Structure 1
Amino acid sequence: MRQFPLEMHQMAPGRVVEWRLRSTAGAAADAGGAGGPVGGAADGVPADAAGRRASFNQDKHFTVAEESRGADDPVASWIAVTFEVTGVLDEQALTGALLAFVRRHEVLRCEFRRLAGELACEPIAAAELALDTVPVAAFDCSEALRGFLVDRFKRSIDTLSWPLFTMGAVLRGESATVYLAFDHIVCDGLSMPIVVHEVQSAYEALCRGEEIDLPPAPSYLDFAEEQRRRYLSIDAGDDRLGYWKSFMARGGGEFFPRFPLELGVEPDRMYPIVNEASPLLDAAEAEVFEKVCRAVDGKPFMGVLAAVAVCLREAGGPGVYRGFMPVSERGRTGWANSVGWFVNTMPIEFDASPGRDFAQVMAAVRAGFGEMMRHIDVPFVRAWQLLAPAEFAARSWPYPVNFFSYIDTRKCPGAERHEDWRPTSHVWSARANGACSWFQRDTAGLHMNSIYVDTAAARRTMDDFQEALRATVREIARHGSFRRPVALTAPRRPLGTPLNGAAPYAPSALRS
C-alpha cells in the first residue's frame, strides 16, 4: 500500500455509485445526508447541552476552516483511500459493511459546533444512521473517471459540514474499486489501512452470510477527552515544554524548523500545489537497505531520514538537521484499530555535518529520535499555542517548514491481504506555502510522495532533491555508506513523470 496523487491512479472506468450517509432523526435528516450545516444540535441532544470536546488537532483544524471561510479564502484538503473487490460486487453486502464501519467509529458520526468558545463534537447515535445507494455516473475512460473523483472529493468534503467523508465505488462486470475520502478532522494517514481492513473484512463476512467480527476499537473521542484533561491547563512555564524550548533556542527562537532549500515563495502567501510520487527503491533494494540500517543499530526510517539530511546538506542546507516528524499515538495507548487523528508532530534534531559517515549519522539520528520520543506526550498544537501565540493565530504555518513522514504499511492491520485488495492512499491540499514529503515502505519497495508549492524555483529544487535522494538511498543499499557527495544536477521532469523512467502507478503495479 502506498500513497500517490489520485490523478496518477490507473483506475479502470465503470459505473459509479455512492453511499450517502443520513440520520433518520432530527437536524441531520433535514439535511438529507448531503452535507447539512454545522451548528445545530446533534440528534437527540439539546442545543444547549454540553457535548464532548474535540481534540487539539481537531480544534485548530476547524478554527482554520472557520476563519478562512469568513475571509473568503477557504482552506481545503482531503485524505482518500481506494481498494479493489474482485468479482461482481454485492452491493447489499458492501452497504452493510460501510454502515457497520461508520457506526463502529464514533468520530465519523460527529457534528462539530462551537460551544462556549470550545469545539464540541456531538456524535449521532449509531442506530440512527442509514445509507442510501445513489447511482452517480458512468465513465468509459480512466482519465474522465479520475477527473470526476478529484472534483467530487473537493466539492463534497467540507470541514464545516456533516458528513465529513464520502463513500462510493466504480462498478465493472467482474471487479469494483471502492473509494472513501475524508476530511482530516476525522482521520489521519494511518487510518487508511484500518478503513481498508475493516470494510473488506466486513464485506467478505457478509458475503459469506457471517457476522462481522472485528477487534475492539476504542473511540477517538475518549482519546481527545483524556488529552484535553491532561494538557488544557498547562501554561508556557510548564516543565513539560522544556524539550520544545531548547529546540527553539538552538534555532534562533523559531518554533518552526525552516525548510533549508529555495522554494521561491513570498511571505504570507499561499500557492497552488505540485503533488507527485515516485519509487525510490524496489523490493530487493529495500530489503538490502534495511539490513544495512540494522547493521549499524538503526531502523529503515532512520536510514531514510539520514539520507534526507545529507541530501539537504549537500544542496546547501545546514550540517545540523532540524525538522518536524509526525508520530503516531496509537500503539502507545491501545488505539491500534481506531480511526481518528492520532498524530503528534514533534521536532527532531541531529548532526549530519560533512565528514560524518553513514554509521555516525545514523547514530545521531537514533539519539535525536530517542530524545524526541522521551518528550512525545505534549500535544503539538498545545505547544504551538503556548510558545508561538502570534503564529498560532495565523491560518497556516508561517514559512516553508522541514517535514518528514515515514510509514511501513507492511505492519498495518490487514497488510497480509494487500496483495488481494491492492489498497492505495491519496492526499490533496488546495494550497501550500512550503513542501511536505511522505515516505512509504511496502512489499514492493520504498516510495516517496511530495506536495510542494508550484513555483519554478520549487520545481527545480524538488526535482534535484528527489533525484539526489534516490541516488543516495541506492548508494546506501549497494555500499553501506553515502560513498560519495551527491550531485544535484538532475534534469527537469514534467509534472507527474516518475523518476528515472519508472513505470507509472497502475493497479497491476500496486500489488503489495
Structure 2
Amino acid sequence: MRVTTIDHYLPEPGTFVWWAPESAATESVPSPVAPSFNQRVHLASAERGSTWLAGSFEVEGAIDHAALELAYRGLIDRHGSLRSSFVSTVRGPSRRRYPTPRLRRQDGVRADTATQLRDLLRQAFTERCRPFGFPAYLLGAIDRPERSTIICGFDHAHVDSYSIAIVIEDMRRLYQGFRSETLPKTGDFVDFCAEQAAVAPTLDDQRLHEWHRFFGTRASPPTFPLDLGLAPGTKAPQASDLRQVLDAAAVERFETLCRGQGSGVFAGCLAAMAESVRSLGGGDRTRVLFPMHTRHHDAWRHAVGWFTSDAPIEVDTDADPATAIRRTGRGVRAGIELGTLPLEHVVAALGGLDLVRDDIFMMSYIDYRRLPGATHHHAVRAQHISNVSAADDAQFWLSRTADGLALRSRYPDTAEAHSVIAGFLDEFQHTLLRFGAASHGVTGAARRGLTLLA
C-alpha cells in the first residue's frame, strides 16, 4: 500500500467515470444512534476544509462498467456506514439511515495529462465527499484501454485508514465476481457507535487520572516541540512530505533491536522521534498522541468505519538506543491501556480541552502487511490517498509494507516550517538507521527470545 496525498498523486491519463445513487435521500429514516465522538468533532469543524480519504487500485483492461456498478452496490450494501449520513439540526448533527440505493453511471470526463486528471479528481472528491448529506463519498474509476484504475473517496466521518484497505480488498473481489456472502462477515459501524455510547467510566477510574496527568492542569493536547514559526490561532496551507525512511532490510534490522528489548517497531520509531527532537533542541521529553484502532471484536475486523481512538505517551530520550526503545515500549503498552477509555469520557471529565491549535501533534503507525488484502497490494498498485487542506501543526503517519517503512508528514506550508521539518525528517531517518545498526549488539539470549516476542 502506498500512502500518499492528492497533491503527490499523478495517475496515468484516462477517462474518469463515476456512479451516483438514484433518489436515495427520499427513502431515508432517522437513526437514534448519535454521531460518535470522532464524528462529532469532525462535523463541528466541517467548515475548516474538506477531509476525505480515497483508495485506488488497478485492474487489467478497460473498465467493465456493469461489473463495477454491481461491485460498488455490493460494497454499499455490505457496510452500514455507507448507508448513513448526517444532517444539521438545531440540536446538533443527527444521523439518518438509507436502504442500498440503485446507482447510475455519470458521463465520463477525459483528461489528457496526469496533472489535469489529478486536479479533476481532487475537485470531484472535494465537492462530493462532504460530511453532511448523502452520499458522503464518490465511487469512480479511471478508464483506460490496457490497465484501468478503480478509485473511490469518502468523507472521513465514514472511514479511517484501515477502512481504505478493507474497501480496496472488498472491491477487488467484488469486481472479480465474488458474491458478497463469500466475503468475511462484518458488522455495522453504526452498531459499534451505539455500543460505545453505552460505555461510562467511574470517576475513580485510574485511567482518568493518568490522562489528566498527561494533559496537565490546562488540559492542553501536545504540540510539535520544534517551533514551526506559526503563531497560535493562525493557519497556513498544508505541505506534505512523502519518503521511505527504511528499506525492507533496514527495517528488519531495526525490528531485531526493538524485539530484543521487548518492544515493537512503532515504539522504536517513537524513541527515534524523541531523540531527533532532542538533538534539534526540543528537550529530553516529547509528549505525543498516537491513534489506535478499536476493532477488538471479530465483528469489526472487516467493517468500514472510523474505528479509532487516541492514546498518550511521554517519550524520554536516553544515550543508549536499547534502553530508550525498551522504556518507550513500556510507554506504548501503558498508553494503549489508557486508550481503551473512550476519549470523549476523558474530555468530559477534564471539562474540555484547551486547544492551542486546531491540529494536534500525533504520530500514527500502520503495518499494512497485516491488513486485509495485503498480499495483493503490490500487484494491484494499491494506494491510500488523502486530501490536503490547511495546517497549523505537524502530524506524521508511518506505514510499513513489504518494501520497508515509509513516512507521510503534514505541516504548515511556510518557509520556516519547511526548514524545520526537513531538518527533523533527515535527523529522524538518520536516527532510525543508527538505532538499527545497534541491532548487531543484541545478545544471543535476546535473539533467542525474538520468536516468543514476535
Secondary structure of 1:202's aligned partner: helix
1:478 aligned partner? 437
1:5 aligned partner? 5
Task: Select 1:197's aligned residue among 153, 169, 188.
Answer: 169
Alignment check: 8 A CA contact 1:12 1:142 kept: yes
Q: Which amino acid aligns with 1:217?
A: T
Secondary structure of 1:161's aligned partner: coil
- Say whether residues 1:188 and 2:151 are aligned partners: no
Q: Which amino acid aligns with 2:432?
A: V
1:349 aligned partner? 314
C-alpha distance in 1, partners of 2:66/2:176? 12
How many angstroms does 1:121 deviate by?
A: 1.5
How many angstroms does 1:181 deviate by?
A: 0.9
How many angstroms does 1:93 deviate by?
A: 0.9
Task: Select 2:300's aligned residue among 335, 338, 342.
Answer: 335
Deviations along 1:416-443, one digit per CA (max 9) or x if unpaired, are 1112211111222421210111010101
- The change in CA–CA distance for 1:278 and 1:211 in structure 2 (over 3 A counts) is closer
2:212 aligned partner? 245
How many angstroms does 1:4 deviate by?
A: 1.3
Which deviates the most, 454-463 or 328-337? 328-337
Task: Select 1:292's aligned residue among 257, 268, 271.
Answer: 257
What is the number of equivalent residue pairs in this alignment?
441
Which deviates the most, 93-102 or 382-391? 382-391
Gaps of 5+ in 2: 442-454
2:224 aligned partner? 259
C-alpha distance in 2, partners of 1:105/1:115? 25
Report 1:64-213 matches (<5 A). Answer: 64-65=45-46, 68=47, 74-114=48-88, 117=91, 119-126=93-100, 129-205=101-177, 213=182
Q: Which amino acid aligns with 2:333?
A: G
Deviations along 1:254-289, one digit per CA (max 9) or x if unpaired, are 430121001011121222110221111112222222
How many angstroms does 1:236 deviate by?
A: 6.8
C-alpha distance in 2, partners of 1:13/1:474? 38
Deviations along 1:458-490, one digit per CA (max 9) or x if unpaired, are 1111000111111111222234399xxxxxxxx
Q: TM-score, normalised by structure 1?
A: 0.81
Task: Select 1:52's aligned residue among 30, 33, 36.
Answer: 33
Q: Which amino acid aligns with 1:425?
A: H
- The change in CA–CA distance for 1:470 and 1:50 in structure 2 (over 3 A counts) is closer
Alignment check: 8 A CA contact 1:15 1:137 kept: yes
1:450 aligned partner? 409
Alignment check: 8 A CA contact 1:298 1:363 kept: yes
Task: Select 1:219's aligned residue among 188, 202, 216.
Answer: 188
How many angstroms does 1:186 deviate by?
A: 0.4
Alignment check: 8 A CA contact 1:53 1:120 kept: yes
Which deviates the most, 6-15 or 255-264? 6-15
1:504 aligned partner? none
Which deviates the most, 441-450 or 151-160? 151-160
Alignment check: 8 A CA contact 2:165 2:373 kept: yes
Q: Which amino acid aligns with 1:380?
A: L
- The change in CA–CA distance for 1:44 and 1:273 in structure 2 (over 3 A counts) is closer
C-alpha distance in 2, partners of 1:328/1:407? 10
Task: Select 2:328's aligned residue among 358, 365, 382.
Answer: 365
1:461 aligned partner? 420
Report 1:420-439 matches (<5 A). Answer: 420-439=379-398
Task: Select 2:242's aligned residue among 268, 277, 280.
Answer: 277
User: Percent same amino acid at aligned positions?
Assistant: 29
- The change in CA–CA distance for 1:310 and 1:334 in structure 2 (over 3 A counts) is farther
Alignment check: 8 A CA contact 1:351 1:361 kept: yes
How many angstroms does 1:238 deviate by?
A: 5.7
Deviations along 1:486-511, one digit per CA (max 9) or x if unpaired, are xxxxxxxxxxxxxxxxxxxxxxxxxx
- The change in CA–CA distance for 1:212 and 1:229 in structure 2 (over 3 A counts) is closer
How many angstroms does 1:112 deviate by?
A: 1.3
Secondary structure of 1:272's aligned partner: strand
C-alpha distance in 2, partners of 1:390/1:288? 40
C-alpha distance in 2, partners of 1:92/1:279? 38
